[in-house]
Chain A
């Protein structure tokens, strides 16, 4: 159906005086495990290996993992919007503090994976967190309680060691049990490109490209090439040699990316 209205062809005679500005977002390199935010809104996200961005429900949660915002990378709004939100939110770093909700006097210690474990007595809380244990409790707002799961209560001090739990959960990937040898790249529209455009993985890692655009795309690089990927379709390739692998979309040539494989 090739129909074009020619109602106002007289307009062709009017000269163009203003050169239109095209805003092209600067492309910042970011990779799995990075902290990212967009250009206009200052919400910070954790970028997971599954290609999704994870929300910090509040600043208190953020500061259990990071001392400041110095490592937050600013990426293009268009790239940010191409990335889906994660199916869970970031929770408190395990071992860092105890938490409670305002409407329930129970105090919980946190285990890996956002598991809340009821600390049954004040004596036990003192054994786990020291004399100043009352200063080591944060109130979680009720709406964020659903981000956690209830585990078994802690009956005695042998069942939980806050310091071991803290050092054993050094980053969000460990807490969420992300498989960091499996990385997902979002295929967005030809304007947004691949998100992230450049990613670094360890040798032997599997990279999955998922088409989250409404058009068909295809991934092609040195040694790998996908078929036509319909919306929501994926293509997977395992990188077993060290090096930088450039690739592009065979449908939209402007869309390019790089996978850096390191030891």
Chain B
């Protein structure tokens, strides 16, 4: 059952084996070997052979069997089995038949669950589903399960696969390298601490720098610098603190905070701390494209929404890095709509930048609209109330429409499907009553008559 390809290749190799016998003494680690039977093994640095559990595993490493050397059965029998080879990291995605989770393969034989389809599509393209192999349950034990992939840049397939060019790089480290000697602490009589109120800042934030210092001869001077500018100098004091505003305009991604302490005997010590500038969304701003796939000439819609905790003075919607619309009203929602045209496969990139009253900026993630032969269904979510009390229920209504008809609507609660409606354009579910206060997110996923699915943005229900 397992050896379909290995068997075919193995048989033809077996005939050759009698004509060109290979001497075991010439084996070196990294070789592919086989004997009279069909199975091919990887010969590793530990002198053991590693088994390919199935042909799919083999083909993540090799495109054919041309490099396989044939040795005698007797020689093969003297080489112990070390374990099983696993998928080459970064090449494919796998799942087990009885679990819907899709995993990427990282180094050290680690499986990492890809939490959303959007991340899978970002990593492996729109046809990511075609990259998913079913791993027989039996071979799940050959892997360990690592941390899930929650963000787009958690896992870059090409980088991971380039870091693993040989099976050897995926095998457990047999030898433990000795602990390195701890390097001795540089001895100094200067005791000196330098702290900041924030290490990750936004433009416009107030940053506080604090130094306390001591030296047997006494402290002569403490100087504080931010972005190369002296902001405070304290004379004959063992502590020094001051605040400064992080520049609002500028292209830097990080600033340097620096403290110089000088003792009375002229001993001088310098400490620097990198302050990273955060221009990300922090979950406070988000962009939603109503339909990620549209036909050329259809109306595309992207909406930037901001948390009410931001004092918004301006919201910009960018298409392909060009500001296309600015909402200056301070409204928490800034929609852009327009006709998009292009050849099939054309991708428009959308993101939003929200500016607050202090000039601080918040950038959303990037979403795309792709010109496609088949457009995504339009999906909307409605609820009579967004805040209900413990013990109450509320109806969540998902509607969908598409030129090709709607095949299915699924309603999701906190990313889990709680209801499925077939062949209808409206699907309702009653949620609650809850026993305790909290929040739940609801959204819908519609699949059109041609199988294209789209999931809309969450609405949040608060239970008080």
Contacts and interface: CB of A to CB of B under 8 A. Distances in A.
B301 interface: yes
Contacts of A250: 435-436
Interface string A119-149: 0000000000000000000000111111100
A189 B84 CA distance: 34
A89 interface: yes
Nearest to A248: B435
A147 B306 CA distance: 53
Interface stretch (A3-11, A152-160, A172-180): A3-11
Given A103-B76, A146-B81, A146-B84, A253 B416 contact: no
Nearest to A89: B141
B181 interface: no
A95 interface: no
A12 B399 contact: yes
B380 A18 contact: no
Interface string B398-442: 010100000000000111111111111111000001111010000
B420 A3 contact: no
B199 to A, nearest CB: 25
A196 interface: no
Nearest to B288: A3
Question: Looking at chain A, what size class is its interface with the partner chain?
Answer: 35 or more
Contacts of A80: 98
A2 B420 contact: no
Interface stretch (B120-128, B154-162, B233-241, B455-463): B455-463
B2 A141 contact: yes
Given A2-B459, A3-B305, A253-B433, A215 B100 contact: no
Contacts of A23: 420
A143 B401 contact: no
B98 A43 contact: yes
A120 to B, nearest CB: 15
A121 B359 CA distance: 84
B35 A18 contact: no
Contact of A18 (B399, B418, B424): B424
Interface string B67-79: 0000001001100
Interface string B242-258: 00000000000000000
B386 A2 contact: yes
B419 A7 contact: no
Contacts of A77: 98
Contact of B413 (A6, A88, A190): A190
- Contact residues of B: prevailing secondary structure: mixed
Interface stretch (B132-140, B187-195, B341-349): B132-140
B127 to A, nearest CB: 24
Interface string A30-64: 00000000100101010000000001011000000
A2 B140 CA distance: 41
B39 A103 contact: yes
Contacts of B460: 1-2
B82 to A, nearest CB: 8
Contact of A41 (B98, B140, B306, B380): B98
Given A5-B290, A21-B422, A146-B83, A215 B378 contact: no
A4 B380 contact: yes
B286 interface: yes
B378 A20 contact: no
Contact of B380 (A8, A17, A143): A8
Contact of A143 (B51, B100, B426, B456): B51
Nearest to B54: A143
Contacts of A38: 98
Contacts of A81: 98-100
A79 to B, nearest CB: 10
A18 B286 contact: no
Most chain B C-beta atoms within 10 Å of own C-beta, residue among A2, A58, A80: A2
Interface in B36-58: 37, 39, 51-54
B333 interface: yes
A67 B401 CA distance: 54
A46 to B, nearest CB: 12
B305 A1 contact: yes
A77 B99 CA distance: 9
B203 interface: no
Contacts of B419: 20, 22
Contacts of B434: 251-253
Given A7-B378, A101-B81, A146-B84, A214 B303 contact: no
Contacts of B97: 41, 43
A144 B303 CA distance: 53
Contact of B401 (A2, A8, A144): A8
Most chain B C-beta atoms within 10 Å of own C-beta, residue among A5, A16, A85, A145: A5
B382 interface: yes
Nearest to B34: A103
B433 A146 contact: no
B96 interface: yes
A86 B99 CA distance: 13
B142 interface: yes
A87 B305 CA distance: 44
A207 to B, nearest CB: 22
B447 interface: no
Given A55-B140, A101-B81, A20 B421 contact: yes
B401 A89 contact: no
A190 B73 CA distance: 55
Contacts of A58: 138
A77 B418 CA distance: 15
Nearest to A145: B81
A87 B141 CA distance: 5
Contact of B423 (A8, A11, A18): A18
A22 B422 CA distance: 10
6 contacts: A1-B332, A8-B380, A11-B425, A20-B427, A103-B39, A147-B141
User: Closest 10 interchain pairs by CB?
Assistant: A20-B421, A143-B53, A189-B416, A142-B51, A55-B137, A3-B305, A215-B414, A57-B138, A85-B140, A104-B77
